[in-house]
Amino acid sequence: METIIQVKDVGKTFIGKDNRVEALKGINLEIHKGEIYGIIGMSGAGKSTLVRCLNFLEKPTTGTVMIEGKDLAVLPERELRQTRTQIAMIFQHFNLLMQRTVLDNVCFPLEITGQKKKEARGRAKELLEIVGLSEKAKAYPAQLSGGQKQRVAIARALANNPKILLCDEATSALDPTTTKSILALLKDINKKYGITIVIITHEMAVVQEICTHVAIIDGGTLAETGTVEEVFTRPQTPAAKALVFQNGGNHQQMKGKRCIRIVFKDHSSFEPVIANMVLECKAPANILLADTKDIGGVAHGQMILQLPEDEIIAGKMIHYLKERKLEVEELSNYVG
């Protein structure tokens, strides 16, 4: 696949009067054309700094950012501005111009690039139709819901036919139902127009809903990368595990010696495998966590079980589950 964004050894240091903060340290990423790529991390992990480095709103202290093979750091100012028009961005709080109508908000980036008013308005009307807001062309942002404001922001971002769309916590201010509709719109835009989308978020559910690949940022470093399915099924690092388990609810520290995580997918989600295991092994297991995710349209479930302290019975249970082709991961110190 063709690489559209390449990040090589990128670091970003902010220096104040009394302190020095390394927001990013040695980040390496490769994003391919047409992907929906997730960058996820907890608050303060450095993910928003990273996305601002992708379009040089923040210039990296070290390393290289390449867009379609061009090193942004060495481009002449005029060429850098031109390249930036191909990298659109939408934000958590929409950033609409409150004194302008919806139509005029969408026209704004076209005005900046010198497009004639009639052509700009025609293009803006097309974009409002794409995002399902044709009837709101004459409304003002204050008259819109949060989801409608984000749709206007998406239409505005698409005005100059960008190749890349950066979404910085674009659904964080929205309720779950509206979030789903915005993610569905982004997915549709990606499919129809082939725009590469980079989603910055702290919510694993957003990544699982829309992304094909994911990078996990932790403390300014790259903790883990892979397909969304790989990371959900077999998280390798503490940062990845914290994000995969983040909606597990509150459980007390387990007291059993053995705790396992099982991942269900495809047909295994519909089998009463835990009930059958308990009957087969003639011993109970304590369910600490259970949930289901939709990843790429396929249901994936996970369950964390506390096994009996008897090592022979616990081993028998693990063997039973593995025989049924389930992903089984032994956890040494799970706390929900």
How confident is the model over 272-286, as pLDDT tens digits?
A: 788 888 888 888 888
Pair (215, 289) in one structural domain: no
Residue 336 lies in a domain: no
Q: Which residues contact residue 294 at a Cβ distance below 8 angstroms, ignoring those fewer than 6 apart?
A: 208, 209, 300
Mean pLDDT of 316-332: 84
C-alpha–C-alpha distance, residues 235 and 258, integer Å:
19
Pair (255, 218) in one structural domain: no
Mean pLDDT of 195-204: 91
C-alpha–C-alpha distance, residues 187 and 86, integer Å:
19
Pair (85, 225) in one structural domain: yes
Dihedral in degrees, nearest 10, Cα atoms 232, 55, 87, 221: 0
**Interhelix angle 117-130/102-112, nearest 10 degrees:** 130
> Does the pLDDT of residue 196 top 50, yes or no?
yes
How distant, in Å, are the alpha carbons of 8, 54, 63, 247 from that of 150?
32, 21, 33, 25
Pair (75, 104) in one structural domain: yes
Domain that holds residue 136: 3-236
Pair (191, 302) in one structural domain: no
Are 207 and 215 contacting, i.e. CB atoms less than 8 angstroms apart? no
Q: Output the pLDDT for position 59.
A: 92
Pair (191, 313) in one structural domain: no
CB-facing half-sphere around the CA of 312: CA atoms within 13 A: 1
The domain tally of the chain equals 2
Pair (65, 151) in one structural domain: yes
Residue 126 lies in a domain: yes
Tens-place pLDDT, residues 256-314: 557 888 887 665 555 678 888 888 888 888 888 777 666 666 667 778 888 888 888 88
Q: Alpha-carbon torsion 33, 34, 40, 44, what sign?
A: positive
Find the CATH number of the domain harbouring 296: 3.30.70.260
> Does the pLDDT of residue 249 top 60, yes or no?
no
Mean pLDDT of 202-214: 88
Pair (268, 301) in one structural domain: yes
> Does the pLDDT of residue 187 top 70, yes or no?
yes
Closest CA to 225 of 29, 36, 52: 29
> Does the pLDDT of residue 103 top 90, yes or no?
yes
Helix (H) or strand (E) segment spanning residue 301:
strand 298-306
Q: How confident is the model at residue 64 (pLDDT cuts 50, 70, 90)?
A: very high
Residue with tokens 């992708």: 54
Q: Output the pLDDT for position 255.
A: 47
Q: How confident is the model at residue 252 (pLDDT cuts 50, 70, 90)?
A: very low
- Averaged confidence pLDDT in the chain: 86
Pair (280, 212) in one structural domain: no
What is the pairing mode between strands 286-295 and 259-265? unpaired
Q: Which of 236, 269, 295 is the last residue of a domain?
A: 236
Least confident segment among 25-39, 84-98, 127-141, 301-315:
301-315
